[in-house]
Amino acid sequence: MHLENEPIISLRNISVSFDGETVLKNFNLDLKNGEFVTLLGPSGCGKTTTLRIIGGFVKPDTGDVFFNGRKINSLPPYRREVNTIFQKYALFPHLNVYDNVAFGMRVHGKSEKQIRAKVGEMLNMVNLNGFEHRNVNLLSGGQQQRVAIARALANEPKVLLLDEPLGALDLKLRKDMQAELKKIQKQTGITFLFVTHDQEEALSMSDEVVVMDKGAIQQIGTPLDIYNEPKNAFVADFIGESNILDGVMREDYLVEFSGRPFRCVDKGFRPDEPVDVVIRPEDIDIVSPDGEHLTGTVQTVNFKGVFYEIIADVQGFKWMIQTTDCRQPGAEIGLSIRPDEIHIMHKSEYSGMFGDYTTFSDEMDEDIRTQPESEEEG
Amino acid sequence: MKMKSAAFPYLVWMAVFIIVPTMLVVIFAFTGRDGSFTLRNLESVGQYSNVFLRSIWLGAVATAVCLAAGYPLAYFIAQAGGRRRNVLIMLVMLPMWMNFLLRTYAWMTLLEDSGLINRALTFLGLPTLHMINTQGAVVLGMVYNYIPYMILPLYSVLTKIDKSVVEAAQDLGADSRKVFLRITLPMSMPGIISGVTMVFVPAVSTFIISRMLGGGSNLLIGDLIDMQFLGSAYNPNLGSAISLVLMILILICMGIMNQFDKNGATEGGIMV
């Protein structure tokens, strides 16, 4: 029997490299039963490879894969109790919707009567009633996606692996499918391991988010944790917008940056330890420029609908501020930051790489976020 | 409209070189030497039914051998990596660079009673084999000459099968045998159909292979037709009637073949 608090899947000290290029290094991950876990990271961070190791399509160079405590390193994909929803769905083009969904049960030798009942149930779940005899090649992207979900879940897997399944859908459909996937996960109680490079998707769907970069885990936590308490500059920058400044921790609850001391809520650092200071753009209040606050000059203002996005120059460092108060470019402003809105991080290899909006442009940001994930396994 | 005007030269080509000759064959088949309408030509085709049966039988055997030998090879080539794959495909096509007649002559010198193979057997102290002028030699000639036409369309559909579709099948619980039977084989059906068509049609109507490797006793339809137009038994009307019957038989065979391709999907395959 499977114990509730035992991980259903464990990866231990996994290392993989393709053509001499390290994809995962000394990677450890536990998946708890019934959770919705997301692997989040930029292209080439190793998230798809992680999924393929669990699916059985990639053999790690070193390390072990455990399923319910049993080592499954050499178990071929067809004998693993996990199913995958592939990036481009990979539906069987020569079979209709019914036969696609029935495929897994047929190869497992289920009776046609059982199959008929289950296919009906699955198509009902993904709202594709009446599509049984449709040609899968003529379905829309969203419908193909639903067939892929029904096909994978018809096998009643213990774990469902989803490889950027929503990447090919347009924004509106993606939002709908996010809600639907979340609902299906709740309904079935199956462990979902979801791969995406879209931070918003990760935050809104997951119980737990695993932020990855360069083949290593940067942070594991609830969406709230990783947003509010990023561990390093990479996580702070990748999840949402962040101003990341060089600072020095003078003592517990007192940090100095931009040439001023600030009260904060962090402690446990060495005295005078150099740190990274994270301040989210929405946590900054604009006040009149008096001597008590940081002062800066507004450089650009962008209207974003709910708020204005202001880039302000404070002693040469470009801050991003999201506010409902409009200010004109060139205006002098004061920046008010509450102690609990200052987040302190230890220095890391990512220090100094992110968090200054000097080279920021909306278009570039958009480009990076919407770039399709390239094949990670060359 | 643009499509139509661009297609015009091809329409002319087809009319002059395909439709008109076919019509002439039909007219010749239904007329006597004096040009009057008659069914006698078609009636006398009946006496050659054994030749028809032999041609279809040998063509079918050669096609089956090509499929059985060509499929694994096409599969193997499709699995191979980029550079190696190109070299292998070139090797498959290499014999086609040489003249058809020359290739068949080469087989004659190999298979003859005093040919290279038998001389080698004698040298090794083994009994000689009678190979030339047998049906086996004809089938061998057909397989040798036409197998590239089986391999190429098969290779073309097999390389187009998305690797992720195969992975999806494995992921859903199919072992390699089931992946082949339920995914690879049905998805390569269009290639099988074009391959079978491209081997069967020329094999049934060949006349050089049977004449050179089959001797006088293994006459095929092609030889029969050849004789009516160029040979001793000069009778173009009978020759046309035989051609017409052959054409209809092949069309029926193809019709049956296409039933196997349930979806009528011909993507990837080369249709004839």
What CATH number did the domain enclosing A252 receive? 2.40.50.140
Closest-CA residue of chain A to B162: A90
Q: Are strands A216-221 and A208-213 parallel, antiparallel or unpaired?
A: antiparallel
Q: With CB atoms and an 8 Å threshold, state whether A107 touches B168.
A: no
Q: What is the pTM of this model?
A: 0.82
CA distance A152 to chain B (A): 7
Q: Is the pLDDT of residue A371 over 90?
A: no
**Which residues in chain B are contacts of A133 at CB distance < 8 A?**
none
Q: How far apart are CA B262 and CA B189, in angstroms?
A: 9
| Co-location of A214 and A305 in the same domain | no
Query: What confidence score (pLDDT) does residue A170 get?
Result: 86
Q: Who among B170, B173, B183 is closest to A92 (CB)?
A: B183
Q: How far apart are CA B34 and CA B96, in angstroms?
A: 43
Domain boundary (A228, A258, A288) is at: A228
**Domain-located, residue A23:** yes
Query: What confidence score (pLDDT) does residue B262 get?
Result: 53
The token pair that represents A129 in the structure block:
């009633």
Look-up of token digits 């996005």? A309
Task: Please spell the DSSP secondary structure of B79-95, one letter per residue.
Answer: HS-HHHHHHHHHHHHGG
Query: What confidence score (pLDDT) does residue A361 get?
Result: 58
| Partner B contacted by A130 (CB < 8 A) | no
The token pair that represents A86 in the structure block:
């592939």
User: Which of B163, B170, B172, B185 to mutate against chain A (most A CBs within 10 Å)?
Assistant: B172
| Co-location of A297 and A338 in the same domain | yes
The token pair that represents A343 in the structure block:
């987040």
Q: How far apart are CA A1 and CA A339, in angstroms?
A: 49
Query: A76, A56 in Cβ contact below 8 A?
Result: yes
CA distance A106 to chain B (A): 9
Q: What is the CA radius of gyration of chain A?
A: 24
Q: With CB atoms and an 8 Å threshold, state whether B175 touches A55.
A: no
| Co-location of A61 and A32 in the same domain | yes
| Co-location of A253 and A289 in the same domain | yes
Q: With CB atoms and an 8 Å threshold, state whether B182 touches A107.
A: yes
**Three-state secondary-structure class, residue A80:** coil
Q: How far apart are CA A341 and CA A12, in angstroms?
A: 36
| Co-location of A79 and A201 in the same domain | yes
Handedness of CA B180, B186, B188, B189 (dihedral sign): positive
Which pLDDT band, with edges at 50, 70 and 90, does A351 fall under?
confident
Q: Is the pLDDT of residue A372 over 60?
A: no
Q: With CB atoms and an 8 Å threshold, state whether A151 touches B172.
A: yes
Closest-CA residue of chain B to A107: B174
Which tens digit of pLDDT belongs to each residue from A78-131?
999 999 999 889 999 999 999 999 999 999 999 999 999 999 999 999 999 999
DSSP H stretches of helix in chain A: 47-55, 97-107, 112-125, 141-153, 171-188, 199-205, 223-228, 233-238, 362-370
**Which residues in chain B are contacts of A155 at CB distance < 8 A?**
172-173
Q: What are phi and psi of B269, to 5 degrees?
A: -85, 160
CA distance A84 to chain B (A): 7
Look-up of token digits 């396994």? A377
Spatial neighbors of A294 by CB under 8 A, at least 6 apart, are: A258, A260, A314, A334, A335, A337
**Domain-located, residue A283:** yes
Task: Please spell the DSSP secondary structure of A121-161, one letter per residue.
Answer: HHHHHTT-TT-TT-BGGGS-HHHHHHHHHHHHHTT--SEEE
Encode A244-282 in three state secondary structure: EEEEEEEECCEEEECCEEEECCCCCCCCCEEEEEEECHH
Q: In CATH, which of 1.10.150.120, 1.10.3720.10, 3.30.1330.10, 1.10.560.10 is domain B49-259?
A: 1.10.3720.10
Query: B231, B127 in Cβ contact below 8 A?
Result: no
Please count the structural domains in chain A: 2
Domain boundary (A194, A228, A262) is at: A228
Q: What is the ipTM of this complex?
A: 0.82
Q: With CB atoms and an 8 Å threshold, state whether B164 touches A90.
A: yes
Query: What confidence score (pLDDT) does residue A362 get?
Result: 53
Burial class (CB in 10 A: 0-12, 13-18, 19+), B240: buried
By percentage, how much of chain A surpasses pLDDT 90? 74
Query: A192, A181 in Cβ contact below 8 A?
Result: yes
CA nearest A97: which of A149, A48, A34? A149
| Co-location of A262 and A130 in the same domain | no
The token pair that represents B141 in the structure block:
């000639």
Q: What is the mean pLDDT of chain A?
A: 89
**Three-state secondary-structure class, residue B267:** coil
Q: How far apart are CA A238 and CA A230, in angstroms?
A: 10
Taken as a whole, chain A contains a residue count of 378
Q: With CB atoms and an 8 Å threshold, state whether A86 touches B167.
A: yes
CA nearest A83: which of A44, A122, A117? A122
Closest-CA residue of chain B to A96: B263
| Partner B contacted by A78 (CB < 8 A) | yes
Which tens digit of pLDDT belongs to each residue from A158-187?
999 999 998 888 888 889 889 999 999 999
Q: Which domain holds residue A332?
A: 241-370
Q: Is the pLDDT of residue A27 over 80?
A: yes
Which pLDDT band, with edges at 50, 70 and 90, does A360 fall under?
low
Which tens digit of pLDDT belongs to each residue from A192-238?
999 999 999 999 999 999 999 999 999 999 999 999 999 999 999 99
Q: With CB atoms and an 8 Å threshold, state whether A83 touches B175.
A: no
| Co-location of A257 and A344 in the same domain | yes
**Domain-located, residue A213:** yes
CA distance A339 to chain B (A): 51
**Which residues in chain B are contacts of A90 at CB distance < 8 A?**
162, 164-165, 167-168
Burial class (CB in 10 A: 0-12, 13-18, 19+), B7: exposed
**Three-state secondary-structure class, residue A301:** strand
**Which residues in chain B are contacts of A86 at CB distance < 8 A?**
164, 167-168
**Domain-located, residue A27:** yes
Q: With CB atoms and an 8 Å threshold, state whether B171 touches A78.
A: yes
| Partner B contacted by A158 (CB < 8 A) | no
DSSP H stretches of helix in B32-123: 40-45, 49-79, 82-93, 100-111, 116-123
- How far, CA to CA in Å, does B93 sit from each of A143, A192, B89? 43, 49, 6
Query: What confidence score (pLDDT) does residue B253 get?
Result: 84
Q: How far apart are CA A158 and CA A83, in angstroms?
A: 8
User: Which of A48, A59, A88, A92 to mutate against chain B (most B CBs within 10 Å)?
Assistant: A92
**Which residues in chain A are contacts of B168 at CB distance < 8 A?**
84, 86, 90-92, 151
Q: What are phi and psi of A285, to 5 degrees?
A: -100, 140
**Which residues in chain B are contacts of A104 at CB distance < 8 A?**
172-173
Closest-CA residue of chain A to B168: A90
Q: With CB atoms and an 8 Å threshold, state whether B167 touches A103.
A: no
Q: How far apart are CA B241 and CA B249, in angstroms?
A: 12
**Domain-located, residue A377:** no
pLDDT of chain B, 272 residues: tens digit per residue: 456 788 889 999 999 999 999 999 999 999 988 889 999 999 999 999 999 999 999 999 999 999 999 999 999 999 998 899 999 999 999 988 889 899 999 999 999 999 999 999 999 999 988 999 999 999 999 999 999 999 999 999 999 999 999 999 999 999 999 999 999 999 999 999 999 999 999 999 898 899 899 887 888 999 999 889 987 788 999 999 999 999 998 888 888 888 876 544 444 333 33
Query: A236, A230 in Cβ contact below 8 A?
Result: yes
| Co-location of A205 and A246 in the same domain | no
The gap between the terminal CA atoms of chain A, to the nearest Å, is 39
Spatial neighbors of A148 by CB under 8 A, at least 6 apart, are: A85, A86, A89, A90, A91, A165
**Which residues in chain A are contacts of B169 at CB distance < 8 A?**
92, 103, 107
Q: Who among B171, B182, B265 is closest to A83 (CB)?
A: B171
Q: How far apart are CA A93 and CA B144, in angstroms?
A: 34
| Co-location of A32 and A169 in the same domain | yes
Q: How far apart are CA B128 and CA B126, in angstroms?
A: 6
| Co-location of A147 and A272 in the same domain | no
Q: With CB atoms and an 8 Å threshold, state whether B174 touches A107.
A: yes
| Partner B contacted by A231 (CB < 8 A) | no
Q: How many CB atoms lie within 10 A of CB A70?
A: 8
Q: With CB atoms and an 8 Å threshold, state whether B167 touches A57.
A: yes
| Co-location of A118 and A27 in the same domain | yes
| Co-location of A314 and A361 in the same domain | yes
| Partner B contacted by A103 (CB < 8 A) | yes
Q: What is the CATH number of the domain that holds A14?
A: 3.40.50.300
